[in-house]
A and B are shown apart, each in its own frame.
Chain A
Amino acid sequence: MSKLKSLTKKQLFLPIFSMILVMLINVIYDMACGNAPLSFFQIGIKNGFLYGRLIDVLNRGSEVAILAIGMTLVVSSSAGTDISVGSVMSLSGGFCCMLLAGYGVARANSYALPLWVGLLGGILIACVCGLFNGFLVAYLNIQPMVATLILWSAGRAIGLLLCNSQIVYVRVPSFQILGAYVGFLPTPILIAAFCIVIAALILRFTALGTFIQSVGINKKAARISGFNSARIILITYMICGLCAGIAGLTATSRIYSADTNNIGLNMELDAILSVALGGNSLGGGKFNLSGSIIGAYTIQAITTTMYALGISSAQAPVFKAMVVILIVVLQAEPVKDYFRKMTAKKAAKEAKAA
């Protein structure tokens, strides 16, 4: 009992609990349909590729997970959200395809420039976007949502302009690798895992986490104690841009084309939600990266579950909203307090009875 209590007090308890809840819905559904109860977790190999619903969640959730890394840091340092990440994804993908196909070319069967130039270009333009956002927030003291609103609306449009207002297809197999498979493993899973590991290592072996949290909790005190608060906020926005760039290239490679109107559409909201689902305060300060990552995959698990349940893509958002409400309510402080009081009362009753 006491073990259970200490477990429920951990910050990660609820994000993990939510994840398990979503998985449980799957199990119940499968049992009701007469499938094997654990078919959600079944992993098989089909045509030489890993296959299964769990794999699908991990694969499709990669972009949001990568975005969640950057978003967590931005939220922590500036108590605000970067709503431009979806647009920046699209811009980064568009720029990369334009470099690879050549300006104005809608369909390319060979590269105009080497692949690495395209990828690097995509990453760089995303970093520049991040720096732009960070500059507005950190040095001009513009509110994060307003500052990033600029690129939220302009980023996608610039991407479209770069692609000469058309969908640019890059039909070269080596370009598809980021969104396809390495051996039997889906590459996006590897990319996300790589980003997560790098982020975890940086937070573990440098003092970046302390710097970001200090600035997020008390900017003035952090400055007096020798932190360059503005620069740290700038860095977090740049990292967020970098993450958006990586996610954008992955999304572009999946469909081997720069569909600037749709890449990363509304994904900023999923990224923000991941941070919140992970038990992080959107008011800045303390953060827990693992929470955000779990949050990101939970969101994808919900989406995948919807489709598995046969809910149409038009209805899915409604059900998704319901699940999100449930999870968010469970995590709310007053609800937690209520449960705490209930357990205390129960314990008192038992003690009396004894």
Chain B
Amino acid sequence: MDSNIALTMRGICMTFPGVKALDNVDFTLRKGEIRALMGENGAGKSTLIKCLTGVNQFEAGEIHVDGIEGPIVNKDTMDAQNKGISTVYQEVNLCPNLSVAENLYIGREPLTKIKTVDRRKMNQMAAQLMKELNLDIEVTQNLENYSLALQQMIAIARAVDMKSKVLILDEPTSSLDDKEVEMLFKMMRSLRAQGVGIVFVTHFLEQVYEVCDGITVLRNGTLVGEYTVEELPRVKLVAAMMGKDFDDLASIKPEGSMNVEDAPLEIEAKGLSHAGKIKPFDLDIHKGEVVGLTGLLGSGRSELARTIYGADRAQTGTLKVDGKEVKIKNPIDAMNLGMGLLPDDRKAEGIIGDLSVRENIILAMQAKAGIFKRIPMAKQIEIADQYIEMLSIKTATRETLIKQLSGGNQQKAILARWLATDPSFLILDEPTRGIDIGTKTEIQKLVIKLAQEGKSLIFISSEIEEMLRTCNRMAVLRDGSKVGEISADEMSQEGVMKAIAGGGASE
């Protein structure tokens, strides 16, 4: 094996019941290289990584790792870690109720002479590690006290500390804001300088070009090609991923953007708040209007929407829906008023993993109908099939458990759950996170179509471009309070960035 190469995979094949997930896939990673692994949902990125880390057992092929003679087979992730392959997943897989230090050293705790855990030493080592990585974290605090973004950094720190030769980052940036992404990239670059090979899975194209050296593209379980970044400019990359030339995400917004100012109000919030999460805010939303909520991660975007929806009960203020004052105590009250909420944390608040795609799709409808009015099976099947086709949800059958679907397809199924209730006001919190470009465009088009039908929407996204394309108006949040609005005329990448950062007269 070439001494410059950290990892090679040759001819990897893997079948799931009914699907050839990987067909003769090759993958090469050099030392000190950051290589993007790209592909649409269901292209086989996650499966390839799971084969590498021993989560899935591949059927044919070989894996070679630098420093180990002969092909290796990992029985499980622990085995893979021992061979120098570490993974950080999109969803943080740490124990929220343990301290940061415990999480960092779980399974490899420093021991005292009498073989008990040396907590003092462990905390010291953890603090040292956090300092090296410039993270401002108290290591004796429980992990759950930190934001998702910081938890992710801790997960990476853990992987890094295990002297990995190969570090796999599976969608690490999807829950990070720009500043945190920059921090992560800094960390990645310094690891690259130390000779670690990094596999970077992401849906953000800009990030690929910002940090990566090489790109490997998969499509439908087969290898499209291995390229250097220079060889594959953006448009070509998208074409390679989709297998066709791609008409850029140009203006999907119809010309002469509709005038919604004169439409009656759907939502009138006055002074709504939830202690510790969102300070009192006012927000009006017209019928047929898409209002974007923007701000840094943790600025209160999700919390504002959740307070309207009753996921966090409003403690002050009044809410009028369609002109009538209402009290919302629980999500079901909001649903009965025609609302829906697609939550940002798909795994924790979206999917019911052990239920089938069909059951997940009809779930909200059934909740609205109540316990006693069971939706007849024929109707359930009809609705499920209709949305599986409409949103092209990739699933073996409608009875497949939703947890077996790829992340993007899970998201589509949850979206279907809400569309099935025919809401008049829909809140979409990061609906396109972790979703490939083709689907992203479809969802954006759908948002605009819904608005044209007279429905009101709140659209929350970390991608400003996407918001510019879909929203009629934007509300800006900072540190848990709504600080202003941006009208359609003022909406531009720069304008929004400024508003988020809090530029202007105040600074």
Q: Can you list 20 residue pairs at the A/B interface with Cβ under 8 Å?
A: A207-B371, A210-B355, A210-B359, A210-B374, A211-B366, A211-B367, A214-B352, A214-B355, A217-B355, A218-B349, A221-B348, A221-B350, A221-B352, A225-B363, A225-B364, A225-B417, A226-B367, A227-B367, A228-B330, A228-B332
Q: Is the CB of A207 within 8 A of B369?
A: yes
Closest to A215 in B: B352
How many Å from the CB of A5 to the closest CB on chain B? 13
Of the residues A206, A208, A218, A228, contact of B352 by C-beta under 8 Å: A218
Q: Is the CB of B331 within 8 A of A224?
A: yes
Binary per-residue interface labels of chain B (346-371) against chain A in the complex, 1 for a CB within 8 Å, 0 otherwise: 00111111110001000110111111
B373 contacts the other chain (CB 8 A): yes
Complex CA gap A148/B104 in Å reads 36
How many Å from the CB of A2 to the closest CB on chain B? 14
Number of A-B contacts (CB under 8 A): 75
Residues from chain B with Cβ under 8 Å of A208 in the complex:
371
Of the residues B351, B359, B368, contact of A226 by C-beta under 8 Å: B368
The answer to whether A213 and B354 touch (CB under 8 A), given A207-B371, A228-B332, is: yes
Closest to A214 in B: B352
Q: By the criterion of a CB under 8 Å from any partner CB, how many residues of chain A are at the interface? A: 21
Residues from chain B with Cβ under 8 Å of A217 in the complex:
352-355
With A218-B352, A221-B351 already in contact, 15 other A-B pairs whose C-beta atoms are closer than 8 Å: A206-B372, A206-B374, A207-B366, A207-B369, A207-B373, A207-B374, A210-B355, A210-B363, A211-B367, A223-B311, A224-B331, A226-B332, A226-B335, A227-B367, A285-B354
Binary per-residue interface labels of chain A (198-223) against chain B in the complex, 1 for a CB within 8 Å, 0 otherwise: 00000001111011011001101111
Using a CB–CB cutoff of 8 Å, the interface residues on chain A facing chain B are 205-208, 210-211, 213-214, 217-218, 220-228, 285-286
Q: Is the CB of A224 within 8 A of B355?
A: no
Using a CB–CB cutoff of 8 Å, the interface residues on chain B facing chain A are 311, 330-332, 335, 341, 343, 348-355, 359, 363-364, 366-375, 417
Complex CA gap A286/B353 in Å reads 10
Q: Is the CB of B364 within 8 A of A205?
A: no
Q: Which of B311, B330, B359 has the most CB of A within 10 A?
A: B330
Residues from chain A with Cβ under 8 Å of B330 in the complex:
223, 228
Complex CA gap A314/B499 in Å reads 79
Q: Is the CB of A210 within 8 A of B332?
A: no
Q: Is the CB of B373 within 8 A of A224?
A: no
How many Å from the CB of A333 to the closest CB on chain B? 15
Closest to B370 in A: A207
Closest to B345 in A: A220
How many Å from the CB of B358 to the closest CB on chain A? 11
Q: Which of B348, B368, B417 has the most CB of A within 10 A?
A: B348
Residues from chain B with Cβ under 8 Å of A220 in the complex:
348-349
Q: Is the CB of A225 within 8 A of B367?
A: yes
Closest to B309 in A: A224
Closest to A229 in B: B330
Complex CA gap A205/B355 in Å reads 18
Complex CA gap A30/B371 in Å reads 49
Residues from chain B with Cβ under 8 Å of A213 in the complex:
352, 354-355
Q: Which of A206, A218, A223, A225 has the most CB of B within 10 A?
A: A225
Closest to B306 in A: A224
The answer to whether A206 and B331 touch (CB under 8 A), given A221-B348, A221-B349, A224-B341, is: no
Q: Which of A208, A223, A286 has the most CB of B within 10 A?
A: A223
Q: Is the CB of A224 within 8 A of B311?
A: yes
Residues from chain A with Cβ under 8 Å of B372 in the complex:
206-207
The answer to whether A207 and B375 touch (CB under 8 A), given A214-B355, A217-B353, A225-B417, is: yes
Q: Is the CB of B332 within 8 A of A218?
A: no
Of the residues A211, A218, A226, A228, contact of B353 by C-beta under 8 Å: A218
Q: Which 3 A-B pairs have the closest CB atoms?
A: A226-B367, A226-B332, A207-B374
How many Å from the CB of B426 to the closest CB on chain A? 13
Complex CA gap A214/B343 in Å reads 16
Complex CA gap A224/B374 in Å reads 19
Residues from chain B with Cβ under 8 Å of A211 in the complex:
366-367, 371
Complex CA gap A208/B369 in Å reads 12
How many Å from the CB of A315 to the closest CB on chain B? 41
How many Å from the CB of B398 to the closest CB on chain A? 15
Closest to B341 in A: A224
Residues from chain A with Cβ under 8 Å of B417 in the complex:
225
Closest to A216 in B: B354
How many Å from the CB of B383 to the closest CB on chain A? 14
Q: Which of A206, A214, A226 has the most CB of B within 10 A?
A: A226
Residues from chain B with Cβ under 8 Å of A207 in the complex:
366, 369-375
Residues from chain B with Cβ under 8 Å of A205 in the complex:
374
Complex CA gap A228/B331 in Å reads 9
Complex CA gap A211/B366 in Å reads 9
Q: Is the CB of B354 within 8 A of A224?
A: no
Residues from chain A with Cβ under 8 Å of B332 in the complex:
226-228
How many Å from the CB of B173 to the closest CB on chain A? 24
Residues from chain B with Cβ under 8 Å of A222 in the complex:
352, 363
How many Å from the CB of A128 to the closest CB on chain B? 22
How many Å from the CB of B195 to the closest CB on chain A? 39
How many Å from the CB of B303 to the closest CB on chain A? 14
Of the residues B348, B351, B363, B371, contact of A206 by C-beta under 8 Å: B371
Complex CA gap A208/B348 in Å reads 22
How many Å from the CB of B132 to the closest CB on chain A? 35
Q: Which of B359, B367, B369, B370 has the most CB of A within 10 A?
A: B367
Closest to A222 in B: B352
